[in-house]
Amino acid sequence: MTYDSFNKFYNNKKDISKQPFAKVSENIYNFYPIKVFSSYTGFDTGYGFFGPNVSSDFVILFDVYNNRGELIKNEKFELSSKEGSLRFVSLNRIFLEQATQTSNIKFDKYVAIILKQITKYIAKDFPKNFTVKTQLYLYDYPSINKFKSGKKVNLYLIKDTLWKN
């Protein structure tokens, strides 16, 4: 499973069953003690500690402008309950697909609708003549060497949207 996940993530190959290493890894994986270990540890999901498919965190920032176009608020979007926040994290998968796949007009529209709904949710707390701009960012982590030399974590803009009340 891990080899399959790695191969799909980096090589985007759908069928690896004919590759020699795939057959060997499948035989090893099907060995009962290893299969039990993999199942209990989550290793069979491809999301192990060093797994290539571990989802990145996205950041949603919003700016609120008054009727004169002046910035009055700039914050990170957060939900008030832990349950809501946990459910909201499931959107990471959708946002990651948006950031990593080739252009798909229908999927792009779907992500735009999600971001627009988040923007409308934020806008309901402000007067009717205010504008809310929501930006979806992905963390851009520097390499370890660059980090040691002082480079900081940056945000990479994926998508943004405006909502005028």
Domain count for the chain: 2
- Residue 65 confidence (pLDDT): 95
Whether residue 62 is found in the same domain as residue 131: yes
Whether residue 20 is found in the same domain as residue 81: no
51 occurs within a structural domain: no
Whether residue 20 is found in the same domain as residue 41: yes
Whether residue 78 is found in the same domain as residue 155: yes
Number of Cβ within 10 Å of residue 91's Cβ equals: 16
Whether residue 108 is found in the same domain as residue 29: no
Q: pLDDT-based confidence at 55, cuts 50/70/90?
A: low
pTM of the model: 0.58
- Residue 64 confidence (pLDDT): 95
Contact between 135 and 116 under an 8 Å Cβ cutoff? The reply is no
53 occurs within a structural domain: no
> Which domain covers residue 8, as residue numbers?
2-45
% the chain with pLDDT above 90? 18
Whether residue 134 is found in the same domain as residue 107: yes
Whether residue 80 is found in the same domain as residue 155: yes
Contact between 112 and 159 under an 8 Å Cβ cutoff? The reply is yes
Contact between 71 and 86 under an 8 Å Cβ cutoff? The reply is no
How far is 16 from 77, CA to CA, in rounded Å? 40
User: pLDDT tens-digit profile of 94-128?
Assistant: 776 766 666 778 888 888 888 899 999 899 999 88
Contacts of 119 (CB under 8 A, 6+ apart): 62, 132, 133, 134, 161, 162, 163
